[in-house]
Copies of this chain bind each other. A is one copy, B any other.
Amino acid sequence: MRGTTIWMKRIGACAGLAMLALAAAPARSAPATPSEIVAAAPAGDWIAIPAEDLLVMTLAPDAAGKPREVLIQLVPAPFSQGWVGNIRTLARAHWYDGTAVVRVQDNYVTQWGDPEGETPDKAKPLPPGINPVPPGDYVATPPAALAKRWESDVAAWRKAFHAALDKRDHDRAHAMLAALARGDAYADKTGFFAGWPYASDRTRFWPVHCYGTVGVGRGMAPDTGSGAELYAVIGHAPRPLDRNIAVAGRVVAGIEHLSSLPRGTGPLGFYEDPAERVAVIALRLASDLPEAQRPHVQYLSTESESFARYVHARANRQDAFFTVPAGGVDICNLPVPIRPTP
C-alpha cells in the first residue's frame, strides 16, 4: 500500500469524509463536475490494477446474443486474503465454469455459484487447496500511517474545541459539534486508503459494502464460506454486512450485466426455475489469460490531488442543475474512478 492518504487530511475531527468535504475547496474559477475533474486527472494519478488482482467473468450471452463480461478487482491485503487465495485457486482450477447466477434480490445482491452447493451429494467438489478462513480476516489493525494521522487529527480537534470552551466561545464550540455530527451512521470514521473505501473505529479498520462490492457468501457460522459462492451488491449500500461478511473485491466493469437481471421470485430472490439462471461460462484471473486477451484497467489514486478535488466536487455539487451544495457526502457516494488503460 502507498504510504500517503487523504484519510482525515486537512481536517481535525472524528467525522471523516463528510467533514473533509466541508474543508476549503481548491481555488477554481468555476465549479467543475466530478467527471470533468476525473477526465482532467494527469496520467500519473492513475494506477494500473495488476493482472493477478483482476478477475474476468464471462456470463452466457444475453437474449440478443450480446456477450456479457464482468471485471472484478480483488481486495488488497490485509483483508480477506484467505478467501482471496481460495478464489484464485478456484479460478485457476476453472471451478466456476459451469456454475450460474442463482439469486437476484432487488436492492440487495446478485449471487453466483454452484446451484447444488447446499446439497451435499450433488455439490460440485472443490479443488485441492481450498482452506477455511478465520473470521478475524474481516477487520485489521490500521497501518501505522493511518493510526498516526488519526491520533494527531483527533488531538488537534480536541485542542481547538477545548480552547473554544476556555474562551467561552460557545458559537464556535457549537459549530464544531454540529460539523462533528455530519458523520457516518456505521463507524466512527470513513476514508480511502490505497484505492479502497474503509471504515474504522480507530483501533480497527475494515472494507465497506458499497454498490458493486463483491463479497463471500457463507452459512450461519462466520468461519463458513470458501469463496465458491460470491455476490455483488446491486442496491443501496448494505453497510450492516460490514464486519459480518468478507469483502472479496469490487466490480470495476460490467456491473450492468448483474444489476439488470430479472429479480428472482423465490425467498431471498433465488430463482425458482433453473431455466432463469444465467450460466457462468468462465471466470479467470487476467494474469492467467494470454497477454492479448487481458483487459487493462486503472483506478484513480485516492492519494492524488485529483481525487481530493473529486471528493470535494461530489460533496458540494454546484454544476449542472445543482443549486444547493450538500456540504457532505457518504463514503458509498464516492465510487473510486475506474477507466480502461488508455
A residues lining the B interface (CB < 8 Å): 13-15, 17-18, 21, 63, 104, 106-107, 135, 138, 165, 177-178, 180-189, 210-212, 218-222, 235-240, 242-245, 255-256, 259-263, 314-315, 317, 320-324, 326-330, 332-333
B186 contacts A183, C-beta separation under 8 Å: no
B239 contacts A236, C-beta separation under 8 Å: no
A322 contacts B244, C-beta separation under 8 Å: yes
Bound CA–CA A104/B324 (angstroms): 25
A237 contacts B240, C-beta separation under 8 Å: no
The 9 lowest CB-CB distance pairs between A and B, nearest first, are A18-B185, A185-B328, A183-B183, A185-B330, A181-B183, A243-B324, A256-B263, A14-B181, A211-B236
Q: Which residues of B contact A237 (CB under 8 A)?
A: 236, 333
Smallest CB gap from A325: residue in B: B240
Q: State the main secondary structure of chain A at its contact with B.
A: loop
A15 contacts B326, C-beta separation under 8 Å: no
A324 contacts B183, C-beta separation under 8 Å: no
Q: Which residues of B contact A322 (CB under 8 A)?
A: 240, 244
Bound CA–CA A262/B256 (angstroms): 8
B326 contacts A242, C-beta separation under 8 Å: yes
A157 CB to nearest chain B CB (Å): 9
Smallest CB gap from A330: residue in B: B185
B63 contacts A333, C-beta separation under 8 Å: no
A240 contacts B333, C-beta separation under 8 Å: yes
Bound CA–CA A244/B326 (angstroms): 9
Contact of A180 among B180, B186, B324 (CB under 8 A): B180
A186 CB to nearest chain B CB (Å): 5
Smallest CB gap from A165: residue in B: B165
A239 contacts B14, C-beta separation under 8 Å: no
A185 contacts B188, C-beta separation under 8 Å: no
Smallest CB gap from A327: residue in B: B186
- In the complex with contacts A222-B323, A255-B106, A240-B183 CB distance below 8 A: no
Q: Which residues of B contact A326 (CB under 8 A)?
A: 185-186, 239-240, 242
Q: Which residues of B contact A181 (CB under 8 A)?
A: 13-15, 180-181, 183, 188-189
